[in-house]
Structure 1
Amino acid sequence: MDDEGRMENYLKRLEPTEEVETESAQKRKRERSVVWDHFKKSSDKAYGICNYCGKHLKTAGNTSNLLDHLKRLHPSRMTADKEPMPKTMATFLNKEPFYGSDSNVKKRLDKKVMDMIVKDVRPFSCVHDEGFVELMQEAVPRYKLPSRTYFRDVMLPTEYDLLSLKLRAALEAVKHVGLTTDLWTSAANEGYITITCHFITENFKLTSALLSTAPLMTPTNHNAQNIADSISLMLAKWGLLSKVVTVTTDNDSTMKKACDILEFKHLPCLAHTINLLAQDILKLAAVNVIISKCKRIVTYFKHSTIATAKLKEAQNTNEPLLLIQEVSTRWNSAYAMVKRILQINEYVTLTLLKLRNGPSPITNEELDVLNDLSDLLSPFHEATLSVSTNTKVSVSLIIPVIAEIHHKMNQVKAQLRTQEGKKIYVVVQKRLVERLDSFETHTIPRIATLIDPRFKKDGFLRSSNAEQAAEALELELLSLEPTTPRRPPTPESTLNEASSKFSFLQNKPKVKSTRADATRQFMENENIPDTCDPLKYWEMTADNELKLVAKKFFCVQASSCESERVFSLAGQTISDRRTRLKPEVVDQLLFLNKNRHFN
Structure 2
Amino acid sequence: MLPISFVEGKGFREFMAFVEPEYTVPSRKTVTSRLEKLYDDGACDLHTQLASANKVSLTTDSWTALTTESYLTITAHYIHNWEVHSAVLQTKAMSERHTAENLSIVLTNATDQWGIGGKVSACVHDNASNMVLANTGLDWDSQPCFAHTLQLAINDGFKLQQINHVISSCNRLVSHFHHSTVATEALKQKQQQQNLPEHKLVQFCKTRWNSIHNMFERLLEQRWAVSAVLSDRTVTKLSDARTLEQTDESWTVMEELLPVLHSLKCATTALCGEFGVSISMIYPVTSTLLSKHLKETPGESPKVTKFKQTVSASLERRLAPADIRNASKVAYIASFLDPRHKHLRFATEEVRRAVKAAVSALLSSPDSERDLEDAAASNEPEPSAKKTKSDCLSASAIAVLFGEDYSGETHTTHTTELDNYCQDICPPLHTDPMTWWKANDCKYPRLAKLANTYLGVPATSVPSKHVFSAAGLIVNRLRTRLHPEHVDMLIFLNKNMA
CA contact (8 A) 1:396 1:452 kept: yes
Match of 2:26 among 146, 158, 161: 146
Change (3 A) 1:367 1:445: same
**Which one-letter code corresponds to 1:460 in the other structure?**
F
Matched residue, 2:438:
539
Matched residue, 1:161:
40
Change (3 A) 1:318 1:294: closer
Q: Following TM superposition, by how much is the alpha carbon of 1:319 offset from its aligned partner in structure 2, in angstroms?
A: 6.5
Matched residue, 2:164:
288
Matched, 1:427 2:310: yes
Matched, 1:481 2:369: yes
Q: Following TM superposition, by how much is the alpha carbon of 1:264 offset from its aligned partner in structure 2, in angstroms?
A: 2.3
Matched residue, 2:449:
548
CA contact (8 A) 2:321 2:327 kept: yes
Distance 2:453 2:118 in 1: 13
Q: Following TM superposition, by how much is the alpha carbon of 1:442 offset from its aligned partner in structure 2, in angstroms?
A: 5.3
C-alpha offsets along residues 446-480 of structure 1, whole Å, 9 cap, x if unaligned?
11111111111144232322221111111111121
SS at match of 1:260: coil
C-alpha offsets along residues 430-453 of structure 1, whole Å, 9 cap, x if unaligned?
223222334983511111111111
Distance 1:147 1:362 in 2: 62
Matched, 1:588 2:476: no
- TM-score, scaled relative to structure 2: 0.83
Match of 1:243 among 100, 103, 119: 119
Distance 2:13 2:489 in 1: 25
**Which one-letter code corresponds to 1:263 in the other structure?**
D
Match of 2:64 among 168, 185, 202: 185
Matched residue, 1:406:
290
CA contact (8 A) 1:181 1:560 kept: yes
Distance 1:193 1:162 in 2: 23
Q: Following TM superposition, by how much is the alpha carbon of 1:336 offset from its aligned partner in structure 2, in angstroms?
A: 2.2
Change (3 A) 1:368 1:379: same
Matched, 1:380 2:264: yes
C-alpha offsets along residues 347-397 of structure 1, whole Å, 9 cap, x if unaligned?
222233332245523232211111232233333222211211231132110
- Structure index of larger Rg: 1
**Which one-letter code corresponds to 1:378 in the other structure?**
H
CA contact (8 A) 1:403 1:459 kept: no
**Which one-letter code corresponds to 2:419 in the other structure?**
R
CA contact (8 A) 1:379 1:408 kept: no
Change (3 A) 1:158 1:331: farther
Greater than 6 Å deviation, 4+ residue runs: none
CA contact (8 A) 2:157 2:308 kept: no
**Which one-letter code corresponds to 2:275 in the other structure?**
T
CA contact (8 A) 1:271 1:384 kept: yes
Distance 2:168 2:77 in 1: 40
Matched residue, 1:361:
245
CA contact (8 A) 2:149 2:315 kept: no
Distance 2:41 2:97 in 1: 33
CA contact (8 A) 1:196 1:210 kept: yes
Matched, 1:338 2:222: no
Matched residue, 2:329:
443
CA contact (8 A) 1:199 1:207 kept: yes
RMSD: 2.5
CA contact (8 A) 2:272 2:459 kept: yes
Matched residue, 2:89:
211
Change (3 A) 1:410 1:559: closer
Matched, 1:300 2:176: yes
Distance 1:367 1:577 in 2: 47
Distance 1:311 1:438 in 2: 51
Change (3 A) 1:331 1:585: farther
CA contact (8 A) 1:204 1:551 kept: yes
Match of 1:196 among 52, 60, 75: 75
Larger displacement relative to structure 2 (248-257 or 294-303): 294-303
Matched residue, 1:101:
none
The higher relative CO (CA closer than 8 Å, separation ≥ 6) is in 2
Distance 2:475 2:197 in 1: 34
Matched residue, 1:351:
229
**Which one-letter code corresponds to 1:198 in the other structure?**
H
What is the aligned residue count? 444
SS at match of 2:417: coil
CA contact (8 A) 2:120 2:139 kept: no
C-alpha offsets along residues 473-520 of structure 1, whole Å, 9 cap, x if unaligned?
1111112117599xxxxxxxxxxxxxxxxxxxxxxxxxxxxx953211
CA contact (8 A) 1:324 1:337 kept: yes
Match of 1:526 among 406, 418, 425: 425
Matched residue, 2:198:
320
Q: Following TM superposition, by how much is the alpha carbon of 1:406 offset from its aligned partner in structure 2, in angstroms?
A: 0.9
Matched residue, 2:281:
397
Q: Following TM superposition, by how much is the alpha carbon of 1:277 offset from its aligned partner in structure 2, in angstroms?
A: 0.9
SS at match of 2:320: helix
Distance 1:186 1:448 in 2: 35
Distance 1:222 1:416 in 2: 49
Match of 2:475 among 570, 574, 577: 574
Change (3 A) 1:321 1:463: farther
Distance 1:425 1:551 in 2: 37
Matched, 1:310 2:198: no
Distance 2:185 2:278 in 1: 42
Q: Following TM superposition, by how much is the alpha carbon of 1:145 offset from its aligned partner in structure 2, in angstroms?
A: 2.2
Change (3 A) 1:583 1:341: same
- TM-score, scaled relative to structure 1: 0.70
**Which one-letter code corresponds to 1:145 in the other structure?**
V
Distance 2:199 2:28 in 1: 42
**Which one-letter code corresponds to 2:16 in the other structure?**
M
Q: Following TM superposition, by how much is the alpha carbon of 1:131 offset from its aligned partner in structure 2, in angstroms?
A: 5.2
Distance 1:385 1:176 in 2: 27
Change (3 A) 1:193 1:516: closer
**Which one-letter code corresponds to 2:57 in the other structure?**
G
Q: Following TM superposition, by how much is the alpha carbon of 1:160 offset from its aligned partner in structure 2, in angstroms?
A: 0.8
Change (3 A) 1:206 1:331: farther
Change (3 A) 1:161 1:290: same
Identity %: 33
Q: Following TM superposition, by how much is the alpha carbon of 1:587 offset from its aligned partner in structure 2, in angstroms?
A: 0.6
CA contact (8 A) 2:196 2:222 kept: no
CA contact (8 A) 1:373 1:421 kept: yes
**Which one-letter code corresponds to 1:333 in the other structure?**
S
Matched residue, 1:44:
none
Distance 1:376 1:437 in 2: 22
Distance 2:327 2:417 in 1: 22
Q: Following TM superposition, by how much is the alpha carbon of 1:416 offset from its aligned partner in structure 2, in angstroms?
A: 5.3
SS at match of 1:199: strand
Distance 1:188 1:169 in 2: 34
Distance 2:292 2:17 in 1: 61
